[in-house]
């Protein structure tokens, strides 16, 4: 794993949730605040920019959250690699390219069971290459918490996700 501790607020021992994408209201990013309120052992990094960034920075003020801004190329690859879990709360993604990128980077994904996510993590692969949740906070927490708590589970699921993506290279 790439050492990007500056991305994790200088606390590399805490599991890092990563979100990559446009920071816009329709992406349901407030949901991540509700998650973080219940996950004091975790931290979160937002990679991306958008009109909702300033509001999100205020919303997450005082929390273990960092806002990196736009990245590309090797920097973006390192950002994915620095994460422990990728969370996609948006229920309006038509494809979810960032989910594919996260899986290709070998980190497990927890994504809303909406839009294109069920095509990326089909029912028969739910719990193997990633987790889907129906937009419900409790269900998402029940799927996310074991990944945050169990490094072996994260690694196993991340490897499975990467192998799944390699089928399409």
CA–CA dist 80, 2 (Å, integer): 9
Please indicate, yes or no, if residue 102 is contained in any of the structural domains. Answer: yes
Q: What percent of the chain has pLDDT over 70?
A: 93
10 pLDDT band, cuts 50/70/90, is: low
The neighbouring-strand residues paired with 47 are 20, 69
Asked if 68 and 41 touch (Cβ cutoff 8 Å), the reply is no
CATH number of the domain to which 145 belongs: 3.40.50.2000
68 pLDDT band, cuts 50/70/90, is: very high
13 pLDDT band, cuts 50/70/90, is: confident
Please indicate, yes or no, if residue 169 is contained in any of the structural domains. Answer: no
Q: What is the pLDDT of residue 9?
A: 57
Residue 85 has pLDDT above 70, yes or no: yes
Please indicate, yes or no, if residue 154 is contained in any of the structural domains. Answer: yes
The mean pLDDT value for 17-32 works out to: 96
Please indicate, yes or no, if residue 149 is contained in any of the structural domains. Answer: yes
Domain that holds residue 142: 5-161
Domain total of the chain: 1
Residue 20: name the closest of 54, 50, 47, 53 by CA.
47
- Tell me which of 2-6, 92-96, 156-160, 161-165 is least confident: 2-6
Residue 6 has pLDDT above 50, yes or no: no
């Amino acid at each position: 794993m790439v050492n990007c501790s500056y991305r994790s607020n200088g606390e590399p021992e805490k599991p890092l949730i990563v979100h990559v994408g446009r920071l816009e209201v329709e992406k349901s990013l407030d949901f991540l605040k509700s998650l973080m309120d219940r996950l004091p052992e975790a931290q979160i990094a937002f990679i991306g920019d958008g009109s909702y960034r300033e509001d999100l920075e205020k919303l997450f003020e005082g929390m273990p959250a960092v806002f990196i801004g736009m990245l590309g190329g090797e920097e973006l690859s390192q950002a994915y690699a620095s994460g422990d879990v990728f969370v996609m709360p948006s229920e309006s993604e038509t494809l979810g390219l960032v989910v594919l990128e996260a899986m290709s980077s070998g980190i497990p994904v927890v994504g809303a069971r909406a839009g294109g996510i069920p095509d990326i993590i089909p029912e028969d692969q739910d719990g193997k290459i990633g987790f889907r949740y129906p937009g419900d906070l409790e269900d998402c927490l029940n799927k996310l918490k074991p990944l945050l708590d169990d490094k072996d589970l994260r690694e196993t699921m991340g490897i499975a996700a990467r192998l799944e993506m390699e089928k399409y290279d």
